[in-house]
Amino acid sequence: MSDESNVAVLLISHGSSLPYGEEVFNEICEKFKSLSKLDAEVGYMKVSHPTLKEAVSNLKERNPGLKRIIAIPVFLANGIHTNIDIPTILGLNPKEVDPRQPDGNYPKGHYLYGLEDIDFDGDLELLDAIGPNPKLLKIINNRISSGLKESKLDDDSKTGVLLVSHGSRLNYNYEFISNLFNQFKEQTEYPCDFGFMELVEPNIPSSINNLTKNNDIDRLIVVPIFIAPGVHTTRDIPTILSLIDGDESEHHHHHHHDGEGHSHSHSHSHGHGDEKVEFDGEILYPDPIGSDDILIEILWDKVKEVL
């Protein structure tokens, strides 16, 4: 191992227009520092601060002898952000050609246009996204347990599980969730499936309808495979599930801070395009991954591999 006093970790987040994303990433950072005993800083790709450039400056300021920064995208799956945007912002070579802009010349106003160089002359190493790590199954199973605690139905009611992911135009997100789902399916007794919020099929309503038509299910636990709460987990998915009305304010918290799940049992009519959720049993919707201790372990495992 190298002398760790000259190593620091840059935890990279997408950035969110809602405040709870930053709260979660600050918690992730604090927990990571106490587990790893390394200095760490969160940097945001866009919207939030500090930017990646500012985060590198903060690390340098606190660690005058800094020689190496290990940058880790706190993203579940690789995609355009991890393979193109983040390396480009960090002044590294993108891992693939950008389908949006194959010549690499971004128009004015694009967040990759006119980037300033990152001011660091040490070794800056960018790791891959988290990927379908088997430890994520522990988090999913814990979320199922917390969902069941919120249930209004009897213990012997029949339960199904749906894993929900964002969806991406690139294939990585699909590969990630289908790999994770196959691992999950092998170790669970619940009838289960997965669905995507947008961009990819199967969408959430069609997955729910298939799962509940083909199995005898009284309640469904919908587990969001997302790290931080944001617009998608607090508004878009609950709207598709009819847990909130589509016109509720976007600052609808959904109790994300007190860890309450949500149960609901009238007919679900919100759709995804034309498709509607036809299941009229109970739907439970636990919190996303957040700053779960198991996530911190996964990040530290990834950093240890390259130390």
The residues that are catalytic are 166
Instruction: Evaluate whether 122 touches 67 at the Cβ level (below 8 Å).
Output: yes
Instruction: Evaluate whether 204 touches 196 at the Cβ level (below 8 Å).
Output: yes
Closest C-alpha to 153, from 263, 268, 287: 263
Provide the CB-side half-sphere exposure for 102 (13 A, CA).
1
Helix axis angle, 136-149 to 293-306, nearest 10°? 180
Supply angle C-alpha 45, 50, 52, rounded to 5: 45
Which amino acid makes up residue 79?
A: G
Q: Which two tokens stand for residue 216?
A: 């005898």
Instruction: Evaluate whether 298 touches 128 at the Cβ level (below 8 Å).
Output: no
Backbone angles phi, psi at 219, to 5 degrees: -140, 150
Beta bridge partners of 107: none
- Give the C-alpha separation, 307 to 303, whole Å: 6
The DSSP output letter for 17 is S
- Give the C-alpha separation, 99 to 19, whole Å: 31
**Exposed, middle or buried by CB within 10 Å (0-12, 13-18, 19+), for 189?**
exposed
Three-state DSSP state, 306: helix
